[in-house]
Structure formats: C-alpha cells, structure tokens
C-alpha cells in the first residue's frame, strides 16, 4: 500500500496534489528547486484548506493535521524512503525527462513513479526511467481539491500491480479513477482542448466577443466556466502545449493551434497566472480584452 509520497514541482498542480494527499492522511514531500515557489505553494494550500474549513467541509483540527503532513523540500534526501513519486513539473518533455532520469538513481527498487502529464506519451517518458513496469500516468484535474476525476494511464510496459496500487490510492483520495489509453492527451484533454481551441478561432474570426463566447457556452451548454475563461484558468501556454502534442501526435490539421492562441503565448499573456489572457486580471473583476 502506498503511504509515503513525494510530489515534484510545486506549481498549480503540485500544490493541489499535495493538498489532497495530506487531507487523506498521507505524508507528502513537496519538492521544488525554488524556495520562493515552495512558500507560494504552501500559502495557496493553506488558503484552499481554509476555504474548505469555511464551507464546513473540514475541521480546524483536520486542517492543521493536513498542513503538518506536507514537508516542503529542495533536496532529495527523502527519496529512498518513498513508495510513490509523482512528477508534476511544467508541461515540457525535456524537463520531465531530465527529472525522471535523475529520479531513477535515487529511489528504492520497488517504488512507483507516476507522471501528471496532461498530454505527453507515458510510454516515451517511461523509457527514460529504470522502471517502465512501475511507471504510469496519474492525471489530476485543476483545481485538484475540487475535481473528482483522476485519469490513470498505462504505458505499454506498466504492470497490473502498479496500476492497481495507484488506482487504490486514487480511491483513498476520494477521487474517481478512469482508465485511459496512452494516446496523445488521453481522454479529457483530447476532447476539452480542441473545444477551447475552437473557441479561440471563434474569437479570431470575429464570430463573438470574449464575453459573448463565454456567456454562450456557460448559459447555452451549462459549462461552469466559458471556454476562454477556462483557457485562462488552465494557462494559455499549457493549452498551446497540449494542442501541439495533439497536432504532432495525431498528424491531423483539425488540431492546428489557433494563431491567436500562439500570439497570446508569444506575448507572455498566459492567462490568470500572468495577470492577462483573454481577460485582464489586474483589477477587482476580470475584464475581457476583446
């Protein structure tokens, strides 16, 4: 049974994964190269736990216990003790491969490694490790504390034992596991990202304004967020990276990233995290930019 977990990368996904592990009573090391990023992540986790306390979903005691289970680290001393390491670094294949190669030398032989990649081939990432049979995809959704789903992706070499251990852990986290085959972007992003990309084309071609497109999909299709608001929430760089994986991996022009999405990323307009995307977040309320 998996009881000791390390999460590599304290960004949006890494902090959410540490949050849900800690609430489930699992000790978790949260590793990042940057102390400042770790401080930021702990603040975000505390704010999100507080939000759950405020809504009566968690007691104050549960919150303190959860915070006590999260250990921020910048070194690797904890690694030989881990049952599972989840890689949640930025969605860049070279960075992920460098982390996974380095991990191989530092883990116990029976430890499992999972990647939270949202689109990259699990089999290709597994190939740089020393343990493809104990490697798989564990794809959480954002915001992790709220979203019910975890996609579980087997690489070609993933053993049944590995898959079952990670599935059992997912259930312990109070999440619903869904198996997906190792094809570009798996299930959720294979369907969701082309919709978001199409929303950007709809804006690009002048069919509707940012507000019109988001209102149309919220009220016309009952989506909790409009597609452009959701793109800003996911991060426009992440959206573009996933579209590129689909475009290249499936070799079909229907996945061509919208030029406007490319331009926004080139401008550094990455959505909520950079203060500007399809909305401007610098004031009290988000303001549409087109």
Which positions are annotated as active-site residues? 118, 139, 151, 189
Residues 6+ apart with CB under 8 A from 65: 22
* Smallest distance from ligand CAA to CB 32, Å: 19
* Smallest distance from ligand CAA to CB 285, Å: 14
Contact letters for ligand CAA, residues 47-66 (x by CB under 6 A): -x--xx--x-x---------
Under the criterion CB under 6 A, does residue 118 sit at the interface with ligand CAA? yes
Could you give the CA distance from residue 53 to residue 215 in angstroms, rounded to a whole number? 31
Site stretch for ligand CAA (CB under 6 A), options 31-39, 141-149, 161-169, 243-251: 141-149
Give residue 204's Cα distance to chain centre: 27
Under the criterion CB under 6 A, does residue 143 sit at the interface with ligand CAA? yes
Contact letters for ligand CAA, residues 250-269 (x by CB under 6 A): --------------------
Which residues in 144-163 contact ligand CAA (CB under 6 A)?
145-147
Could you give the CA distance from residue 280 to residue 288 in angstroms, rounded to a whole number? 6
Identify the DSSP state of 222.
-
Q: 230, 240, 246, 265: which one contacts ligand CAA (CB under 6 A)?
A: 230
Which of 238, 216, 213, 240 has its CA nearest to residue 228?
213
Helices of type H across the chain = 12-23, 35-54, 60-69, 93-104, 122-126, 160-172, 188-204, 210-221, 227-234, 236-250, 259-266
Contact letters for ligand CAA, residues 20-49 (x by CB under 6 A): ----------------------------x-
Could you give the CA distance from residue 107 to residue 162 in angstroms, rounded to a whole number? 15
- Per-residue b or e along 83-97, where b marks 16 or more CB atoms closer than 10 Å to that residue's CB: bbbbbbbebebeebb
Q: Tell me the residue nearest to ligand CAA as measured from the CB.
A: 118
* Smallest distance from ligand CAA to CB 88, Å: 11
Site stretch for ligand CAA (CB under 6 A), options 3-11, 75-83, 173-181, 186-194: 186-194
Which of 32, 26, 31, 33 has its CA nearest to residue 5?
26
Q: 8, 38, 217, 234: which one contacts ligand CAA (CB under 6 A)?
A: 234
* Smallest distance from ligand CAA to CB 30, Å: 16
| CB closer to ligand CAA out of 157 and 187 | 187
Helices of type H across 105-205 = 122-126, 160-172, 188-204
User: What are the φ and ψ backbone dihedral angles of 140, each rounded to 5 degrees?
Assistant: -85, 155
Site stretch for ligand CAA (CB under 6 A), options 70-78, 102-110, 184-192, 261-269: 184-192
Binding site for ligand CAA (CB under 6 A): 48, 51-52, 55, 57, 118, 141-143, 145-147, 188-189, 192, 224-225, 230, 234, 238
């Amino acid at each position: 049974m998996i009881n000791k977990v390390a999460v590599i990368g304290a960004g949006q996904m890494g902090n959410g994964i540490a949050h849900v592990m800690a609430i489930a009573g699992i000790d978790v090391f949260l590793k990042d190269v940057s102390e400042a990023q770790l401080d930021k992540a702990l603040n975000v986790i505390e704010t999100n736990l507080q939000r759950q306390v405020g809504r009566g979903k968690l007691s104050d005691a549960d919150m303190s216990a959860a915070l006590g289970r999260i250990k921020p680290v910048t070194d690797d001393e904890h690694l030989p003790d881990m049952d599972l390491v989840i890689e949640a670094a930025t969605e860049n294949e070279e960075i992920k491969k460098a982390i996974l190669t380095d991990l191989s030398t530092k883990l116990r032989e029976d430890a499992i490694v999972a990647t939270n990649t949202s689109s990259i081939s699990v089999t290709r990432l597994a190939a740089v490790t020393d343990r493809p049979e104990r490697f798989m995809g564990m794809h959480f959704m954002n915001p992790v504390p709220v979203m019910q789903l975890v996609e579980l992706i087997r690489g070609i070499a993933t053993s049944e034992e590995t898959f079952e251990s990670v599935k059992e852990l997912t259930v312990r986290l109070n999440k619903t596991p869904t198996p997906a085959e190792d094809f570009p972007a798996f299930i959720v992003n294979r369907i969701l990202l082309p919709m978001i990309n199409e929303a950007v084309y709809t804006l690009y071609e002048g069919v509707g304004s940012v507000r019109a497109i988001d209102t149309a999909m919220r009220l016309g299709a009952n989506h909790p967020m409009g597609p452009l608001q959701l793109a800003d929430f996911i991060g426009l760089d992440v959206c573009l990276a996933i579209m590129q994986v689909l475009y290249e991996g499936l070799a079909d022009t229907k996945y061509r990233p919208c030029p406007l999405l490319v331009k926004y990323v080139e401008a550094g307009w990455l959505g909520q995290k950079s203060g500007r995307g399809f909305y401007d977040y610098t004031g009290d309320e988000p303001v549409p930019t087109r």
